[in-house]
Amino acid sequence: MRYEIIGEPLPVVICHVSAGEALITERGSMSWMSPNMKMETTTNGGIGKALGRMFSGDSIFQNKYTAMGGDGMIAFASSFPGSIRALEISPGNGMIVQKSAFLASEASVELSIFFQKRLGAGLFGGEGFIMQRLSGRGIAFIEIDGYAVEYNLAPGQKIVIDTGYLAAMTESCSMEIQTVPGVKNMLFGGEGIFNTVVTGPGKVILQTMPVSNVAATLRPFFPSAK
pTM of the full structure: 0.82
What is the arrangement of strands in the sheet containing 194-199, beginning at the earlier edge strand? 158-162, 194-199, 174-179
Residue 66 is assigned to a structural domain of this protein: yes
At residue 1, the pLDDT reads 94
What's the CA gap between 219 and 226, in Å, rounded? 15
Residue 18 is assigned to a structural domain of this protein: yes
Assign residue 116 the CATH number of its domain. Answer: 3.60.160.10
What's the CA gap between 105 and 103, in Å, rounded? 7
Q: Which domain holds residue 153?
A: 2-213
Q: How many domains does one find in the chain?
A: 1
Nearest to 33 by CA among 75, 3, 87, 92: 75
At residue 12, the pLDDT reads 96
Residue 137 is assigned to a structural domain of this protein: yes
- Cα distances from 196 to residues 74, 126, 148, 159, 211, in angstroms, run 36, 8, 17, 8, 17
Residue 221 is assigned to a structural domain of this protein: no
Q: What is the pLDDT along the chain (226 residues), one digit of tens a residue?
A: 999 999 988 999 999 999 999 999 977 789 999 999 999 988 755 555 555 545 545 566 789 999 999 999 999 999 889 999 999 999 999 999 988 889 999 999 998 888 765 555 445 444 445 788 999 999 999 999 999 999 999 999 999 998 789 999 999 999 887 776 654 444 444 455 678 899 999 999 999 998 877 877 777 887 765 5
At residue 73, the pLDDT reads 98
